[in-house]
């Protein structure tokens, strides 16, 4: 005979399964006894709760619990990246306006100043020039990631429910961190032999390495060296470097910046971005100090600090504790997208599955996913997701190793 309480109807079972997945011990026992009754005792098959119902209810509640947990996981990738869905796994380029046509379109603009990326003036009885699109930016792609939980039927029967109850929550954590790692990874080398910045993105040639800058007597009060440690002057220099950059003949405009840092730099970053004014005194020729000057609306006040241990981990032992990255918020400048989170079209979520290789009961009826496999009585659950990260354009990105070289 079955010992303990069992569910007598569909709604009661769904209620206790939901609580069991959330770790409620009493409901774990009720669900376990109900599942055992449908697996081992044929007389229970004819009652309200059957084994095929168990399979459907469990997977449905597990998926719902996972989606809830996944939505609640803290992530930071969306602070500095936008989403791009791809149609397949092949590396691809996105199409953008062909700016090389500007020279042709604007060679005769009625004698007026030629403004890049504008429509030209069309003289009387003159054909309209043709413009087009071309594949632009860097190659982007997606990858498949996943994890599987495997346990014995004996472990399931022995009330090791905490493993299955934890699976949706743990899978949600792994999935959300996988997305973060993919997007942060676009800025860093993923080579174990050569950690640090991705030199295809962060390089002098791309203008994305923090360069040396002399003091200007305004916000940059001290000389800034190349790859300077994070400081107020260094961050101001990075912002200035972005503002002085031109792309397709026009200055890069970044509505808002984010500062990506490892946990070790959080106190410094918070102090820098909390500064709303600067008070300084100039030294006179005789060595005395002039009256103080207060400068308000500092360039760093609107920068959002984004802390992640991934900045430290991917930076490697040499620079992981000191590197920092200034990037456009949301992965966009005023005109172009920069950093992307890539997904597969129609598959931007995470899919949970239960292995269905239990065989067929000779007594009739389907067997649940928790009844054990035909070959060795194991029980398996799997999570699969498609995600990736890429840098489409480097506009507005400036990085520093923090090592001063």
| pLDDT 10s digits, 270-318 | 999 998 777 766 667 777 766 666 667 788 988 999 999 999 999 988 8
Is residue 312 within 8 Å of residue 262, measured between CB atoms? Answer: yes
Which whole number is the average pLDDT over 182-200?
91
Angle at the Cα of 350 from the Cα atoms of 192 and 198, rounded to 5 degrees: 25
Find the mean pLDDT for residues 128-151: 82
CA–CA distance from 100 to each of 205, 265, 355 (Å)? 20, 42, 54
With cut-offs at 50, 70 and 90, classify the pLDDT of residue 109.
low
* Residue 10 or 15, more confident: 15
CB count, 10 Å around CB of 182?
A: 22
Structure confidence at residue 322 (pLDDT):
96
Predicted confidence (pLDDT) per residue in 142-155, tens digit: 999 998 888 888 88
> What does the pLDDT read at residue 368?
76
Highest mean pLDDT among 135-139, 164-168, 274-278, 286-290: 274-278
Task: For residue 325, give both structure tokens.
Answer: 């990255």
Residue 41 has a pLDDT of 42
pTM of the model: 0.78
How far apart CA 272 and CA 385 sit, in angstroms, is 38
Instruction: Please enumerate in sequence order all residues whose Cβ is within 8 A of that of 124, keeping only pairs 6 or more positions apart, or say none.
Output: none
Residue 125: what pLDDT?
A: 83
Identify the pLDDT of residue 51.
45
Residues 6+ apart with CB under 8 A from 264: 312, 321, 322
* pLDDT at residue 10 tops 70: no
Cβ-based neighbour number of residue 70 at 10 Å: 21
Q: Given pLDDT bands bounded at 50, 70 and 90, which one contains residue 49?
A: very low
Predicted pLDDT at 278: 75
Give the position of tokens 């106190």. Answer: 267
Q: Could you report the per-residue pLDDT of 339-377, keeping only the tens digit for each?
A: 999 999 988 888 888 888 888 888 777 777 778 888 998
Q: How far is CA 158 from CA 32, 36, 294, 339, in A?
A: 9, 11, 71, 48
Extents of the domains making up the chain: 79-91+141-275+303-405, 97-138
Which is more confidently placed, 187 or 4? 187
The residue that leads in pLDDT, 228 or 117, is 228
Q: What is the pLDDT of residue 163?
A: 67
Q: Distance from CA of residue 348 to its chain's centroid? A: 12
Q: What is the pLDDT of residues 202-251, one digit of tens each?
A: 999 999 999 999 988 777 878 999 999 999 999 999 999 999 999 878 89
Which is more confidently placed, 26 or 163?
Answer: 26
Q: Do the beta carbons of residue 241 and residue 208 sit within 8 Å?
A: no
Task: Give the model's pLDDT for residue 102.
Answer: 53
Please write the tens of the pLDDT for every residue from 79-101: 999 999 999 999 988 877 665 55
Residue 2, pLDDT above cutoff 50: no
Instruction: Report the C-alpha gap between 119 and 102 in whole angstroms.
Output: 9
87 burial via Cβ count (<10 Å: 0-12, 13-18, 19+): exposed
- Give the per-residue pLDDT at 286: 77
């Amino acid at each position: 005979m079955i010992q303990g309480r069992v569910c007598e109807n569909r709604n009661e079972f769904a209620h206790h399964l939901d609580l069991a997945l959330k770790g409620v011990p009493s409901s774990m026992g009720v669900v376990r006894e109900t599942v055992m009754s449908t697996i081992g005792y044929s007389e229970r098959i004819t009652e309200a709760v059957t084994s095929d119902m168990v399979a459907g209810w469990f997977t449905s509640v597990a998926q719902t619990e996972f989606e809830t947990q996944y939505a609640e996981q803290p992530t930071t990738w969306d602070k500095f990246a936008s989403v791009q869905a791809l149609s397949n796994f092949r590396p691809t380029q996105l199409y953008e306006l062909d700016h090389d046509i500007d020279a042709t379109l604007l060679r005769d603009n009625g004698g007026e100043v030629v403004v890049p990326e504008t429509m030209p003036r069309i003289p009387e009885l003159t054909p309209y020039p043709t413009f087009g699109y071309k594949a632009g930016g860097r190659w982007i792609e997606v990858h498949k990631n996943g994890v599987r939980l495997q346990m014995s039927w004996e472990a399931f029967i022995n009330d090791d429910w905490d493993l299955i109850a934890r699976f949706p929550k743990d899978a949600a954590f792994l999935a959300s961190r996988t997305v973060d790692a993919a997007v942060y990874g676009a800025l860093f080398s993923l080579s174990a032999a050569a950690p640090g910045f991705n030199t295809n993105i962060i390089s002098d040639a791309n203008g994305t390495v923090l360069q040396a800058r002399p003091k200007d007597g305004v916000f940059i009060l001290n000389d800034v060296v190349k790859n300077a440690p994070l400081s107020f002057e260094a961050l101001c220099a990075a912002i200035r470097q972005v503002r002085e950059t031109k792309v397709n003949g026009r200055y890069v405009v970044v509505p808002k910046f984010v500062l990506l840092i490892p946990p070790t730099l959080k106190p410094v970053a918070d102090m820098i971005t909390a500064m709303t004014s600067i008070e300084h005194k100039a030294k006179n020729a005789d060595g005395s100090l002039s009256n103080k000057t207060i400068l308000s609306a500092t360039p760093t006040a609107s920068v959002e600090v984004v802390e992640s241990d991934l900045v430290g981990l991917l930076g490697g032992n040499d620079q992981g504790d000191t590197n920092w990255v200034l990037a456009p918020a949301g992965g966009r400048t005023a005109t172009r997208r920069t950093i992307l989170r890539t997904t597969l079209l129609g598959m931007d979520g995470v899919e949970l599955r239960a292995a269905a290789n239990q065989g067929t009961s000779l007594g009739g009826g389907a067997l649940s996913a928790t009844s054990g496999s035909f070959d060795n009585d194991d029980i398996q659950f799997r999570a699969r997701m498609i995600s990736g990260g890429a840098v489409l354009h480097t506009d507005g990105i400036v990085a520093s190793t923090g090592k001063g070289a």
